[in-house]
Amino acid sequence: MGAQPYYGPDFGQLQRQDPDIAQVLLDELSRVRDGLQLIASENLTSPAVMAALGSTLTNKYAEGYPGRRYYGGCEVVDRAERMAIDRARRLFGAEHANVQPHSGASANLAAYAALLQPGDTMLAMELSHGGHLTHGSRVNFSGKWFDVVSYGVRRGSEQIDYDEVRDLALRHQPKVIVCGATAYPRLIDFAVFRGISDEVGAWLLADVAHTIGLMAGGAIPSAVPYADVVTFTTHKALRGPRGGGILCTAELAARIDRAVYPFVQAGPLMNVVAAKAVAFGEARRPEFGEYTRRVVANARALCDTLAAEGMRPVSGGTETHLMLIDLRELGVSGAEAERRCAAAGITLNRNVIPYDPEPAAVTSGMRVGTPCVTTQGMGPQELKEVGTLVVRAVRDPGAAPEVRERVSALLTTFQAYDPAAFPAYDSKY
Ligand SMILES: *Cc1c(COP(=O)(O)O)cnc(C)c1O
């Protein structure tokens, strides 16, 4: 790399000073490179995003917003945040963007704080039907501080029951209606949610933590034209740094900004804000649009293969980057499937399915997603092979060594963090 104009990641320095932690970094990189990553909420960020994360911007206190900070010396980091905001607004066609939330959960906390008082009623999707912890679970602040009414999916179709949503909204008159999910393989009809929200005078909050990346690339319809507030994460299909964000109408801009800072957070993570700007910049390129369409096509190919082999997809299929598989016909629990796959070099997670008779620690299902393998360059043809391997691993624990070998063969061509493209993290460095 030669002389660096900034004090960036220097892996050699870390190895000399703290070999124990350096080894953790190397081992994690090996784990990612040596296995199939099928966790639907994960992705592999670019070296450029990593460079912004590992920069001196991590040192800067910048409470407040660009041009309105409570610390001196913010004129440089202001440029990063202005670029992040500007790029997010243009990428998503939003009137206002806040790029400071530390995570998706922080973004939801701030969005609720902007729109609700403790004790107010909100309507959101049931966790066990695909909703998120922050949508009113009793073990989360959302369930403790608000009066939460939950809607779910229909038993037969396993898709959102919009009639139930409307009935519950009319009956309970929520101040906020939340749509968006963490384990729902179907498109969400934001126009219908908008109609219901208007009918009862509720704010519509779309938590598209999982799908914002697909929306950015144009692979699925966007929630932005319909929702008053859109919360999201930057690290899932969007492929940016771990973090959150909020988009909203001009009307709510000041309320959202005050809710993020000073209500929920103090100092923003300026290195992460800069890395978000890099990711938004990457997502505006045509290649990213192609990537997101391929993520969805790959999910369909994988889902079709699993279904053909007797693994029933909840709701009958997928329209996004993920699928939920009902394992009951195979007589294998979600926890056991997760273990068998891990033994075969395949990382995925157990997941409750709607009306699951098993508890969350066991479950009858698993969740599978394609953002990582698509980043690695795989296409529908490879995803058929991935499907075959998943089925082999889940059905027969004895097949683990053979599956592992076939996983390795696949990864020889489609390696995560190819050393040639990412020398700073390679052990030879
Ligand atoms: C992932 C997710 C979140 C939380 O994001 P974190 O960054 O883990 O806090 C919130 N809502 C939904 C729907 C999610 O899928």
Active site (catalytic) residues: 61, 63, 207, 233, 236, 242
Q: For residue 426, is pLDDT > 50?
A: no
Res. 13 pLDDT band, cuts 50 70 90: confident
Ligand 1 atom with least separation from CA of 180 = 13
Number of structural domains in the chain: 2
Q: How far apart are CA 317 and CA 206, in angstroms?
A: 22
- Do residues 236 and 327 both lie within one domain? no
**Environment class of residue 347 by beta-carbon count within 10 Å: exposed (0-12), middle (13-18) or buried (19+)?**
middle
**Per-residue pLDDT tens digits for 165-224:** 999 999 999 999 999 999 999 999 999 999 999 999 999 999 999 999 999 999 999 999
- Do residues 329 and 252 both lie within one domain? no
Helices (H) and strands (E) in the chain, counts: 16, 15
| Cα angle, residue 44 at apex, residues 112 and 420 outer, rounded to 5° | 155
- Do residues 105 and 202 both lie within one domain? yes
**Per-residue pLDDT tens digits for 357-389:** 999 999 999 999 999 999 999 999 999 999 999
Average pLDDT for 3-7: 53
Question: Residue 386: which domain range?
Answer: 286-411
239 lines ligand 1 (CB under 6 A): no
- Do residues 305 and 221 both lie within one domain? no
Res. 11 pLDDT band, cuts 50 70 90: confident
Domain presence at residue 205 = yes
Query: Can you give the CATH number for the domain in which 81 is found?
Result: 3.40.640.10
130 lines ligand 1 (CB under 6 A): no
- Do residues 163 and 218 both lie within one domain? yes
Where helices occur in 248-329 by DSSP H, the ranges are: 253-258, 270-283, 286-308
Residue identified by tokens 């009319």 is 170
Assessment of whether the complete model's pTM goes beyond 0.75: yes
Angle between helices 400-413 and 380-395 (to 10 degrees): 160
- Do residues 296 and 264 both lie within one domain? no
Torsion of CA 255, 190, 365, 335, to 10 degrees: -20
Distance of CA 147 to the CA centre of its chain: 26
Closest CA to ligand 1's atom 3: 104
CB count in 10 Å sphere of residue 82:
15
Domain presence at residue 31 = no
**Residue 105 CA, ligand 1 centroid: distance in Å:** 6
Domain presence at residue 274 = yes
- Do residues 276 and 305 both lie within one domain? no
42 lines ligand 1 (CB under 6 A): no
- Do residues 332 and 269 both lie within one domain? no
Q: How far apart are CA 322 and CA 312, in angstroms?
A: 14
Pick from 75, 48, 25: nearest CA to 282: 48
- Do residues 377 and 354 both lie within one domain? yes
- Do residues 275 and 302 both lie within one domain? no
Average pLDDT for 388-411: 98
